[in-house]
Structure formats: structure tokens, C-alpha cells
Amino acid sequence: MIKVGIIGANGYTGFELMRLLAAHGRAEVVFASSRSLAGQKISDAYPTLAGKYGDMVYDDVDLERAAKCDVIFACLPHGESAEICGKLIDLGTKVIDLSADYRYDDVSLYEKTYKITHARKDLASEAVYGLPEFNRDKIANARLIGNPGCYVTASVLALKPLVGGGVIDPRTVIIDAKSGVSGAGRKADISYNANEVEGNFKAYGVTTHRHTSEIEEKSGAVVTFTPHLLPIKRGILATIYCDLVGTLDDVKKAYSVYDSEPFVHVIGTLPEIKTAVGSNCCYIGYKYEEKTGRLIVVSCIDNLIKGASGQAIQNMNVMFGLPETEGLPLVGFHL
Amino acid sequence: MIKVGIIGANGYTGFELMRLLAAHGRAEVVFASSRSLAGQKISDAYPTLAGKYGDMVYDDVDLERAAKCDVIFACLPHGESAEICGKLIDLGTKVIDLSADYRYDDVSLYEKTYKITHARKDLASEAVYGLPEFNRDKIANARLIGNPGCYVTASVLALKPLVGGGVIDPRTVIIDAKSGVSGAGRKADISYNANEVEGNFKAYGVTTHRHTSEIEEKSGAVVTFTPHLLPIKRGILATIYCDLVGTLDDVKKAYSVYDSEPFVHVIGTLPEIKTAVGSNCCYIGYKYEEKTGRLIVVSCIDNLIKGASGQAIQNMNVMFGLPETEGLPLVGFHL
Amino acid sequence: MIKVGIIGANGYTGFELMRLLAAHGRAEVVFASSRSLAGQKISDAYPTLAGKYGDMVYDDVDLERAAKCDVIFACLPHGESAEICGKLIDLGTKVIDLSADYRYDDVSLYEKTYKITHARKDLASEAVYGLPEFNRDKIANARLIGNPGCYVTASVLALKPLVGGGVIDPRTVIIDAKSGVSGAGRKADISYNANEVEGNFKAYGVTTHRHTSEIEEKSGAVVTFTPHLLPIKRGILATIYCDLVGTLDDVKKAYSVYDSEPFVHVIGTLPEIKTAVGSNCCYIGYKYEEKTGRLIVVSCIDNLIKGASGQAIQNMNVMFGLPETEGLPLVGFHL
Amino acid sequence: MIKVGIIGANGYTGFELMRLLAAHGRAEVVFASSRSLAGQKISDAYPTLAGKYGDMVYDDVDLERAAKCDVIFACLPHGESAEICGKLIDLGTKVIDLSADYRYDDVSLYEKTYKITHARKDLASEAVYGLPEFNRDKIANARLIGNPGCYVTASVLALKPLVGGGVIDPRTVIIDAKSGVSGAGRKADISYNANEVEGNFKAYGVTTHRHTSEIEEKSGAVVTFTPHLLPIKRGILATIYCDLVGTLDDVKKAYSVYDSEPFVHVIGTLPEIKTAVGSNCCYIGYKYEEKTGRLIVVSCIDNLIKGASGQAIQNMNVMFGLPETEGLPLVGFHL
């Protein structure tokens, strides 16, 4: 069994890692730390974990102990994560970082986007972007993974084959994205109070959202990115508009890159949020509007699974030579 | 007191008319018909109406009786409505038609959009489009009003001043719209079953939705229109993308047309669904993206009020020379 | 016009007062204070208020200025409210206190329940309990009203006629109550984060909830009271179990006390939350179980209206000799 | 691999069986029938199944073919199920019936409750009630299982140890139960339209719900049973009131029967719906009210898993000698 540690385990991505790994046949969580809840029983924070994790308590962040694990999932705020992951790498363990810190090829773009100086530029260039559909070989040999953002995963899986194949005009891309509330993490913030969220819907971060630069770097397109907050817990749907320069056959051919992917499905209809939620899959569909020459692509994922913890486990599976689908849900909840 | 009749009163727009008119000081519902519920107590279908409407029952559709009202609100399916409204006009009453039948200037566009022959072309050209912010004078003298659609109200109030003022390129408009479930009416349909809606979000009618042609006719823009279904009961938010050709000052000037409007508010931030829901107001906000030269406009209404029954009452107020805000909520529920 | 002031106006009951009073023909809000938001525009906190309240800002809590109003609604935490309301009374204005501080006949019961010493015992005995259906005459002559709690309103309106009429055994009462999230107020608390609330349901305060003693004092019954949190914004439904000692005719007779009440409706079926939400009405229905001899009563209100701000306005109407229904919704939202 | 067939596979319990069995290491679905969708691709009805079930189509109900499976899960309406399950038994396969038809020890109680004549009384007496926590040995040797109802599972797991241990007075039991909408199945019914459900909550079937007699037969208590409809998709929470006749130590001792059960957890706090949803576990908590001598027990399950499809798979595991937890989630979704 692969020994897994989770740092920042009390948040939603940390919980989701524990939930998914409970059904993983080749890995087990042996270390889970939380500064705010150190010493407390994990099942007090998440009673549903009682059956699987019994009396396990949240550790303090003890990097020496953490480094005894075969792999660490870091669920930490950006900025802070770079340094801690760096120390763990120095101590000799493998690390999958769910923050933004090791995602960018261009560190200066990261620094500009997050208004922060990168603490470990040495490792930033070594880290591999954890999108297995495009980086499988590098991931297999990596010791440090920058796990993609949720909006980015939905957007880049939809756009990259189209841009790469020259099928769309990459300067015409608009991404109108909608996310469930768990995308904001586990926060005591009046904006996410149920009274303010239920029955509501709003745009936020319009023209300024940080994921824009990551989407642009990874997809090769220039994008207008408008995220919105849905009154649901999990799931992302991105409605993407762009000018088609090729034919619909070219679109089909471009997407054939996913034909044998277990976790990306290009379907004949437009996917809905409930198609994806609960699974580690990205579902993509598209329609062409003759009147305007626009291609409209809809891409859906579960932000906590393919958009975070599930993709992180997929990366772990690749890094350790396990079957890539091990422990990962192929089917969503629907309900 | 103005005597009001409602035909098709058992649906959601019919209910909403009864709810809003319960607080109207100058009009009262004296006739409410429903084919499917004729003879039944209205408060059996909607128990909350018990206090105000007591033992009132749904009438059958008796046009002679209906025509004794000062004004009829027709809440009927398109196609069917044209004929019934026509008969009521022939019988001498005023009519506000909430269906699509009398909305179009270009009847052939209506016929192409709805794949139907218009039963009363004679009246179609006489009917006045019931958007008071632009047609106030004509409405005041009309006997037949085509009450705008919900998506159209949100879109046209946002676009018309910009297109009219030459501030945006009208061939670059994308409307990514999101609506609550009440927009689909009161239907026993598995697609709207709570299990299928809650926690879900989806696009529908992509490139083919009927409101597209109404939006294009009324705004003067060529639009890509993509509606989505929100897991909420009421409210519409439209995120509109277009290329700015003027300056931000031009935008401000264009929108100054609403400065003294009681029911349209251009605000400094981007409105949310909850800003509008419960009120008869349309809230508009916008942001400019320098990188792409795009203007992003967000427009919100309550689809059942400003997008249907409230706007219909606003039209009635104008038609009968009442204060335009009489009986109409200026403040939304927020919760 | 009656000049209304609201202290603690930025919370949900304060907002609801402003929303409801926007449609009141005989009263207007001229003063609204908030310690945390003093000096800020009210429409920044609640953009939907922009149309009605324009550029009005939150005042600081200046009791001298507040006391120039004809009546003050106090939306303050218990404990603190007693003193501030007392000062306002001393300054000569009328006060409707939405906190628990002036609700109890037995001040020692209040002190035991809230673990606090009452700051103004002199006024506690003078204050009138603001349940107009039972205290109308006293309210008309009062200068200080203790406005009932939300759970209490739903429970006492259902129970008091049955206990008073000797129709049920008052020692057998179980109230299984369910409330929307707005009952907890406007709080940045992880427990009310949408992720934790949506799709969830839970009991809380079991055997220890503070409203128990208020229900017992006002209804005359000994009650097991179990509140639950519903994943909705507004509304309370109380399912009440008790042993019937009279007949069903006795129940009917007991409830006939409400025959001419505008805001209490005993209906032939069991009310649902949506029957009441949006209105100032309490809906009551009941069923008898022969097998066990139990009467099951269901009572519904909107916790923010009949359970707080609407009832407070109803009390104001009575205090100032206005029609009791002025400005208060008789019909709920349904949607 | 155990070959599994599902009859009535297009409903929610059928879908849930397919979803859960997708992660089962020792069983696979080889036959799935639906009268209404026969011949259609399963992933057209549930696109999320595309990844796992590819191009599999719904079969027609061909009992000969079905009987070639090692076990059939029958997801059929009561009444109809008795006969079809009977034929499958006659054909020599094992059957787990998710309907009510084979649940009762007392067939006449079934017939009275469901107002129907049982088609296969011969098998009714042979069938084993599929509550593994109490019937494990009999299930291991059964060929026909009556899988318990969802409300019943939550109620009986909470009550049976208390009644059996003489710890509570079995004539004082009130079960105030709340269920998500999926409990009503996949139906095009206006009552379950999202507009009618969202933001609402209601009691239904008060004093008349069919599950009452099943709860009484299996728990040994006389119960007042009041189900309510929650505006959520999945989950049941039962708040149970009864007079304690023993001590709290007796309660603890009675519940120690679950100490080594993988799917029943008696916890120190009161469980919430989200504790259970997504898992195959029943969570139980309790509190004592000294004032009234009442014990208040809260019991939560996921109605589609422990209340239906998960429990059915648990029964299959027992019948085929597999580890009882194989393929069944020990951890819930939380989100």
C-alpha cells in the first residue's frame, strides 16, 4: 500500500481526498494534518469519516513525519504552499500540490497573477503540470506535481485540442463559467452564507479572476473569462464561445485525442453539471451556430474531483505506476 | 376600481398576477378562468390565496363574461392566444397578452420562429409592444399589448441603448443567459422534477431558442443567445458580451435614458439575481475588458414580475392613466 | 405619515422591515442605524433597496435622534436590547422590541433561560406581548412591545386555543419544528455556509432551545421542543403532537377564535411552508389518529414576517390605530 | 464475477444499483431491463453511465434471459413485483425484491396495507427480510429477499434494540420523519416539480402512510408515523420520541448490538442528513429529556443506498458469501 499524507486535510479538498482514498485499493491515508484542528478527531469535523477512519486525529504540520509518507497531497493556500512543498521535496518525498504555486511554466506570470514572489523558483521549473491527458509521461517521472485549478481543467480540456489543431481562432475565446460553492472552499464568510447563496446567482471576478492567466498559458488562447457562482455545492459548467475557422469534422478530429481516455468523454449532446458531478470525468459537447460562425462548447467537471482531489489521485496513480483509474469514480451521482 | 380578468389563471404568471394585484389599490381581479380547473376553488390550487380571494372559483373560459372586464390578461400558449385575444378585442375590452403572439413587428418573423400561421394579422400590426421604458405613449393609447418575454426584457433593456447609441458593434453580441425554473411554467415534466433540477445546471435550446428573434428585432443586434436552467425558482441573469466601439462615457450616456425610470437601475456594481427577484425592477451593471476591447454587461430581472406579470401590470397602469408604480414592488425579497 | 426608526437595521429582520414598509401607505422609515455599517449606503448592503431608499445611509446608534421617531423597531441581540429600548422609552418614543428581552411575563424565567440579569425590570412588567390575536387591546395602549419569537408564534397560535379550551392534555405536547436558515440571522458562520446547509437537514438545540420556555409560558403546555434546520431561506413548519381529550368538534370550536382574524387561517388540509412564506399569515391544519388518540397539528408561518418583522408592523398598526392589515402581505410568494 | 440483472433499471434505485456496482469488484451488471426505454442506450437516460457502461442498451423484460443471471434485483411497483419475482424464483435464479411485496411476515397485513391480494403467498412466507444487521444468517441461505423500505430501515434500526431490550415503552413511539425527493422515485408529477419543492417543506400521508405497518411489524412498537418532504434529493432523518422506561445505560447496552456492524454507527452527537448521504451507513444518536422522561433518537440514512440499493447489494454480498462491505461506500459525500 502506498502511504499517503495530506497537509491541510480539514478543508473540502482534503476531505475529498480522504473520501476517495477510502475506496482506493492500493493507497491509504496514514497522515492528515491541520493547523487549526490539530489533535482533534477527524470524525468530529466530518462524522461521515467515522466508519473508515475511526479515531484517527488531525496531526500538526510536522514535515519530518509527513516526509515518511510515499506521497504528500498539499491542500494549502497559494504562496504558503510553495515553501512547504519545497521542504518536503528536500526531505525526499513526492508531492502533489493542489495550490497554484507549481502550476505555471512562466513563473513571472504566476508572480504577476498572484502578486507574490515565488519562494522556490528552483522547483517551479522542475514541477510538472498535472493534467494527465496531456502530460502523462512527465507525470510518471515527476517528484513534484502542480495540480491544475478547477476552472482551468474544465476550460483547457475543452480548448487545447481546438487551439492546437488550429480549428478555432484563439483570439475570439469567451469562457462563461459557472461553479458550485465548494469551489470557494470551507469558509465562514457571509458571502457564502446559505441565505445569500440559495436562490441566487452572480458573476464575480469579472475581467480579473486569477485562473485567466493559467487558462491562457495552458490552452494557448486569449480568453475573456467570466466566472459565476451557482447555488449548488459541486460542479463546474463552462460555456465557451469561439470563432470556428475549420470545419465540424476538424473539431471531431481534434477531439479524437480523447478517444481512449477513461476520464474525458466527448458526447453527442451538451453535458449538464449532473452528468459530471461525483465522477472524475470531464464531459464535453459542442454546437455550431451558422448565423455567426461561432462554435459553442460546453464542458463539465466535478470541481472537487476532476477539478482537484480526483485529478490529484489520478496523478498519484500515474506517478506510482498504478492503473490510472484505480479508486476513481467513473460514474457520477446523478442525484 | 379597474375590473381585471385573467384567462389561464392557474399557471404561474396567472398566480403572480393575482398575488401582485392583491396589493394594487386601483384594480381588482373579478374574473379568473382555467380550463383544467374550472369550477374549483382557486385557494385549493394555491392555498396562500385563501386570505385574499376567499371562496372565488376558477371560471370556465367564457369570453362574453370575460369581456365585461376593463382589461384582460391572457396567460395562454402562443398560437392559441392570438385568436382568443382577438375575439376579446372584437368584444370591446382591452387586452394584455402575455404570450408571444402579439410581440413582433414583423409577423413573418413570428411565423417563422413559432412555425405557425398568425390567426389575426389584422391585429398583429396594431398591437403595441409592452416595454413601457420605450413605448410609453403608444401603450397609453393601445387596446392590445404584446407583453415582452422574460429573456427579452432582460436583454433588450441592456442592449437597446447601446445599439441605438452606436456604442457597441451590434454584430458581436453574445448573450449567455440563465433562468430559474419558473420560466418553464407549471408543468408535470420529468425534466423539471426536483431530483433532476436541484444541484444541476444546463444549457438548453442552444442556437435555436425562440426568444432569439424577438431579442434581435427589439434590440437591433445580431445575437448568439444561450439560455441555461438555474436550480432556483425565479430570476434571470444575462451576461452579455460585445465589442465596445465607443468609450465608457458613451456607455454611461447611452444608459442615462433610464435616469428617471422607476423600474430600471443602472448600478455601479454587477447586479445579482437576488438584487432583482421579488421586485419589478431590471438592474444593469457593466465592466470593460481592456485586453479584448469587450464590454461585459450583466442584466437581472425577476422573470415572473418584470419578465411577465409585473410588466403586464405596469402596462395596465400606463393604459389606464394610473401611477406607473401602483401596486408594483420597488424592492426585492433579497431572501 | 408615521415616522419609523430601525435600530440594528442591517440584519435580516431590519431589511425585512425596510422592504415591507416600502409598501406601507401610512408609515415611512426615516432612521435606520447599524453600528457595523454606520455611514455606508444602505443600498450597498442591500442593492435591491436602491430604488426605494436611494442614497440613504445607515446612521450610527444615536438614541436622541432615534427618539424623534414616532416608533422604533429594535433589532438587537437580547440582553443589549433591554437597556437601549429602555432608554428610548425614557426619551418618550414608542418601541417594538424584536429581541426576547420584553417577551416574558415572568422575568425570572427570562433570566434563567437567557442566563442574564434583566437591565430594566421596571419596564419588563409593563411591556405587552405583541401577539395581536390575543393581546390586541393592550397593544393598542402600549408604549413598549415584546415582539414574539418565530418558533413561538407558530407554536402558540396553534396550541393556545386547544390548551385554553381544555381540548388537549397539555402535558403531552411534542413540537417537532423546522425552520429556514434566515432564522439564524445574518452570520458569517461555517455552520450556515451554503456547502454545509444545502442538501442537509439536522436537529439542533434538542431539549435545550431557549424558545421552549417562551412557548410554555404563552401556551400553558409542557412541551418537548425539537427545532431542525431546513435547507431553505425562510419559513417555519411545526408538527405538533398531543393527546386529544375532547372531540374534533371541540378542536373546531376552539379554533373558531380565529374566524375573523386576517392573519390566521385554519384550513381543511395541512399547510405547507410555501403556503405561508411571503405572507404575514399563520396557516393551521390538523388530523386525528384514532389508533393512538393523538391530535397532529401543523402550523406554518414565514419566520421573517409573521415570525418577526411583519408581526412587528402589525403591532405598530394596532398601536397607532391604523387598519391592522395596512402594508402587510395577505398572499405568499408560492414561488 | 457474479452476474447481476436489474429489472426496472431506469428508475432511481435501478440507476443507483448500476452506479454502485460500477465500483464492485466481484459483481457486474450484465442485464438491465426497462419496459419504457427498451432498446435505448442506457447512457442516453443517464449520460454519466457512458464511461462505465458504454453502448449497453435497456433490455425488454425477458424473464428467461434475466434468469440466466446469478441474481436479479427487482425495482418494480408493488403488486406487480410479487408475480415477476415469483417467476424468476421458479426459473431458478436468486432474487432481491426492492418492492414491498416480500417484506411482511404477516401477508394479511401486507394485503390490508397495500389493498391488494398477494399473488404468491407460497413465496411470501419463504422470503427473508433483508435487514442484514438482524437477519444475516437467514439471508445467507435465502433465494428470495424482501429488501426493506427506506423509512423503515431508518426507524427499525433505531427502535428494534430499544423495544427488544425493554428500554422504552413501545406504545409511546412517535416518528417524525423527513425524506428527500428521490424517495418518491422518478416521476413526472407537478407535486415534485422543482418550483413546488424548492424552498418548501410539507407533511404528507399523515396517519395513513403505508410504511407504518412495516415499521410496526419489524420494530414491535405502536407508532405514530409522520413523513415530511424535504427540498433535497437524497437522505432521510427520523426524529423519534418515546418514553424511556430503563436508564441511559440500558440504552447504551441495547445499542451495543451494533458495536461491530460496519454500516450502523451509534455516535455521541445527533447525526445530520449529510453524515449519512452517499454512504451505506445508518447513523444513530440520542438525547434524554429529564423534564418529560422522553428519549429522543435521531436516525439518518441515505434513502437510495442503505434505504434501497446499497442495502440490496449488502444482501447480495451476504447471499453470495462475499465480504459484506464489498463495493459499498463507508464514507458519505458530505458535500
Comparing CA positions, the residue from C103, C5, C119, C18 lying closest to residue C63 is C5
**Mean pLDDT, residues D21-29 taken together:** 97
What confidence score (pLDDT) does residue D151 get? 98
pLDDT in tens, B53-73: 989 999 998 999 999 999 999
User: Which residues of A lie closer than 8 Å to B, measured between beta carbons?
Assistant: 174, 176, 178, 195-196, 198-203, 206-207, 222, 224, 226, 228, 230-235, 237, 239, 241, 270, 272-274, 277, 287-289, 291-292, 294, 296, 298, 335
Q: Does residue A119 sit in the same domain as residue A181?
A: no
**Grid cell locating C147:** 415582539
Residue C160: what are its φ and ψ, rounded to 5°? -55, -45
Q: Which residue of C has its CA nearest to B25?
A: C25
Separation in Å, CA of D195 to nearest CA in chain C: 6
Mutate to test the interface with C, among D175, D190, D202 (most CBs of C within 10 A): D202
Q: Which of B69, B75, B85, B150 is catalytic?
A: B150
Chain A touching partners, 3 or more CB pairs below 8 A: B, C, D
What confidence score (pLDDT) does residue A95 get? 98
Question: Of A78, A94, A126, which residue sits at a domain end?
Answer: A126
- To 10 degrees, the CA torsion angle through B33, B38, B41, B42? -30
pLDDT in tens, A207-241: 999 999 999 999 999 999 999 999 999 999 999 99
What confidence score (pLDDT) does residue D226 get? 98
Looking up cell 504540520 gives A61
Q: Is residue A224 part of a domain?
A: yes
**Mean pLDDT, residues B254-276 taken together:** 97
CB contact under 8 A, D193 and B187: yes
Q: Please report the number of interchain residue pairs, chain A to chain D, with beta-carbon separation below 8 angstroms.
A: 101
- Per residue, the 3-state secondary structure of B252-286, as one string, reads HHHHHHHCCCCCEEECCCCCCHHHHCCCCCEEEEE
What does each of the 335 residues of chain C score in pLDDT, given as a tens digit?
A: 999 999 999 999 999 999 999 999 999 999 999 999 999 999 999 999 998 998 999 999 899 999 999 999 999 999 999 999 999 999 999 999 999 999 999 999 999 999 999 999 999 999 999 999 999 999 999 999 999 999 999 999 999 999 999 999 999 999 999 999 999 999 999 999 999 999 999 999 999 999 999 999 999 999 999 999 999 999 999 999 999 999 999 999 999 999 999 999 999 999 999 999 999 999 999 999 999 999 999 999 999 999 999 999 999 999 999 999 999 999 999 99
- Exposed, middle or buried, B3 (CB in 10 Å: 0-12/13-18/19+)? middle
pLDDT > 90: percent of chain A: 99
Report the DSSP pairing between strands C236-243 and B128-129.
Answer: unpaired
Chain D touching partners, 3 or more CB pairs below 8 A: A, B, C
Report the DSSP pairing between strands A94-97 and C2-7.
Answer: unpaired
Radius of gyration, CA atoms only, chain B: 19
Looking up cell 504566476 gives A110
Identify residue A118 by its one-letter amino acid code.
H
pLDDT at D174 over 90: yes
Domain count, chain A: 2
pLDDT at A265 over 90: yes
**Mean pLDDT, residues B86-106 taken together:** 98
String of DSSP letters for B122-167: HHHTT-EE--HHHHHHHHHT-SEEEPPPHHHHHHHHHHHHHHHTT-
String of DSSP letters for B164-190: HTT-B-TTSEEEEEEE-GGGG-S---G
- Per residue, the 3-state secondary structure of D76-115, as one string, reads CCCCHHHHHHHHHHHCCCEEEECCCCCCCCCHHHHHHHHC
Q: Does residue D228 sit in the same domain as residue D272?
A: yes
Q: Which of A69, A75, A85, A150 is catalytic?
A: A150
Q: Does residue D163 sit in the same domain as residue D52?
A: no
CA distance B86 to A17: 63
Q: Is residue C313 part of a domain?
A: no
Q: What is the CATH number of the domain that holds B84?
A: 3.40.50.720
Q: Is residue D204 part of a domain?
A: yes
**Mean pLDDT, residues D93-114 taken together:** 98
Identify residue B64 by its one-letter amino acid code.
E
- Exposed, middle or buried, B55 (CB in 10 Å: 0-12/13-18/19+)? exposed
What confidence score (pLDDT) does residue B61 get? 83
**Mean pLDDT, residues A113-128 taken together:** 97
Q: Which residue of A has its CA nearest to C199?
A: A233
**Mean pLDDT, residues D292-304 taken together:** 98
Comparing CA positions, the residue from D277, C194, D233, D301 lying closest to residue A12 is C194
Task: Give the domain extent around A49.
Answer: 2-126
Q: Does residue B102 sit in the same domain as residue B166?
A: no
pLDDT in tens, B140-162: 999 999 999 999 999 999 999 99
Q: Does residue D276 sit in the same domain as residue D160?
A: yes
Q: Which residue of A has its CA nearest to C233?
A: A195
Question: Of B126, B142, B177, which residue sits at a domain end?
Answer: B126
Q: Does residue C177 sit in the same domain as residue C91?
A: no
**Mean pLDDT, residues A185-193 taken together:** 94
String of DSSP letters for D203-265: E-STTT-THHHHHHHHH---EEEEEEE-SSSS-EEEEEEEEB-S-HHHHHHHHGGGTT-SSEE
Q: Is residue A143 part of a domain?
A: no
What confidence score (pLDDT) does residue A297 get? 98
CB contact under 8 A, C334 and B48: yes
User: Which residues of D lie closer than 8 Å to B, measured between beta carbons?
Assistant: 12, 181-182, 186-190, 192-199, 231-233
D264, D133 contact by CB (below 8 A): yes
Mean pLDDT of chain A: 97
**Grid cell locating D155:** 426507524
* C215 CB-near residues (< 8 Å, 6+ apart): C151, C152, C155, C156, C159, C175, C221, C223, C225
Q: What is the CATH number of the domain that holds B216?
A: 3.30.360.10
Q: Does residue C267 sit in the same domain as residue C192?
A: yes
What confidence score (pLDDT) does residue D61 get? 83
pLDDT in tens, A60-100: 989 999 999 999 999 999 999 999 999 999 999 999 999 99
Q: Is residue C44 part of a domain?
A: yes
What confidence score (pLDDT) does residue B146 get? 98
D182, D324 contact by CB (below 8 A): no
pLDDT at D316 over 90: yes
Q: Does residue B53 sit in the same domain as residue B104?
A: yes
What confidence score (pLDDT) does residue D114 get? 97
Q: Residues D12, D14, D15, D17: is their CA dihedral positive or negative?
A: positive
Q: Does residue D115 sit in the same domain as residue D159?
A: no
Mean pLDDT of chain D: 97
Q: Does residue D107 sit in the same domain as residue D155?
A: no
Q: Does residue B154 sit in the same domain as residue B292?
A: yes
pLDDT > 70: percent of chain D: 100
Q: Does residue C107 sit in the same domain as residue C160?
A: no
CB contact under 8 A, B231 and D198: yes
Report the DSSP pairing between strands D223-229 and D173-179.
Answer: parallel
Mutate to test the interface with A, among B171, B176, B244 (most CBs of A within 10 A): B176
Residues in chain B: 335
Residues in chain C: 335
Q: Is residue B144 part of a domain?
A: no
What confidence score (pLDDT) does residue C61 get? 83
Mutate to test the interface with A, among B179, B181, B190, B202 (most CBs of A within 10 A): B202
Q: Is residue B335 part of a domain?
A: no
Identify residue C41 by its one-letter amino acid code.
K
Q: Is residue C36 part of a domain?
A: yes
CA distance B31 to B68: 9
What confidence score (pLDDT) does residue A61 get? 83
Chain B touching partners, 3 or more CB pairs below 8 A: A, C, D
CB contact under 8 A, B190 and D187: yes
Q: Residues C140, C143, C144, C150: is their CA dihedral positive or negative?
A: positive
**Mean pLDDT, residues B31-38 taken together:** 96
pTM of the model: 0.97
The ipTM assigned to this model is 0.97
Beta bridge partners of A239: A176, A298
pLDDT > 70: percent of chain B: 100
CA distance D267 to D288: 15
**Grid cell locating D317:** 454480498
